[in-house]
Amino acid sequence: MEKLIVDMDDVITENGFIRIINEFLNSNYKPEDAESYYINDLIPKEKLEEWVKFYKEKNVYDYVNLVEGAIEALEKLNEKYDLYIATAYVFRDAPEVSGKTLNDKYNYLIKNLPFIDPHKFIFISNKELLEADIRIDDSPKKLVGKARLKLLFTAYHNKDMTDEELKENNFIRVNSWKEVEKILL
Ligand SMILES: [Mg+2]
């Protein structure tokens, strides 16, 4: 079986950070309002300390929704591929709370992806260290390392990547899990 590594945030789940930020700021931002990959950059600098305190008390995964078709697709892919979920967990704004984030991620994964062996959940920062035949990620920076196929899952922060840039990086853009299924199943 080929080894397939799939990212979690903005590939399997979405909208957690934007909803928690809106609750904190009492705002109505949408993901596309973020000017970078780090949606937390929407928090004004003077509120950063307060934000970290707020975030610590919350579980981002109480705020997410599943990306449409993710579970159905992963269930099928798990039959055909040696499937791993690889997700980063270090919280940039306050690395000391990352252990809690890891715990929240793990609990979400075992609950929502019960058909995947928990030994195949990987919590990591540098995904380049992982070997894979196929990778799926929304972050161009994390879609690194060897692979015969790299699928860039469309998200608010990578929409502007041109066809030329995709080609240079050997990425194939996928806009939905249906498109992933078409390529991999
Ligand atoms: Mg991601």
What spacing in Å lies between the alpha carbon of 117 and ligand 1's midpoint?
21
pTM: 0.94
Q: Are 56 and 95 in contact (CB under 8 A)?
A: no
Closest listed residue to residue 183, CA positions, set 136, 128, 140, 138: 136
Distance CA 151, CA 6 (A): 10
Q: Residue 32's pLDDT is what? A: 84
What spacing in Å lies between the alpha carbon of 10 and ligand 1's midpoint?
5
Q: Residue 41's pLDDT is what? A: 83
CA 3 to chain centre: 18
Q: In what order do the strands lie in the sheet with 149-153?
A: 121-123, 82-87, 3-6, 134-137, 149-153, 171-174
Q: Residue 86's pLDDT is what? A: 98
What spacing in Å lies between the alpha carbon of 53 and ligand 1's midpoint?
24
Q: Are 146 and 134 in contact (CB under 8 A)?
A: no
Q: Residue 100's pLDDT is what? A: 93
Q: Residue 172's pLDDT is what? A: 98
Q: Which residues contact 49 (CB under 8 A, 6 or more apart)?
A: none
Superfamily (CATH) of domain 3-13+65-184? HAD superfamily/HAD-like (3.40.50.1000)
What spacing in Å lies between the alpha carbon of 88 and ligand 1's midpoint?
8
Q: Residue 142's pLDDT is what? A: 95
Q: Residue 34's pLDDT is what? A: 81
What spacing in Å lies between the alpha carbon of 80 and ligand 1's midpoint?
23
Query: Which residues of 23-155 form beta strands (DSSP E)?
Result: 65-66, 82-87, 121-123, 134-137, 149-153
What spacing in Å lies between the alpha carbon of 133 and ligand 1's midpoint?
18
Q: Residue 37's pLDDT is what? A: 75
What spacing in Å lies between the alpha carbon of 40 and ligand 1's midpoint?
14
Distance CA 34, CA 139 (A): 15
Q: How many CA atoms lie within 13 A of 169 on its CB side?
A: 20
What spacing in Å lies between the alpha carbon of 7 and ligand 1's midpoint?
6
pLDDT along the chain (185 residues), means of 10: 97 95 94 80 90 93 98 98 97 89 97 98 96 97 95 94 96 98 98
Strand partners, 6: 85, 136
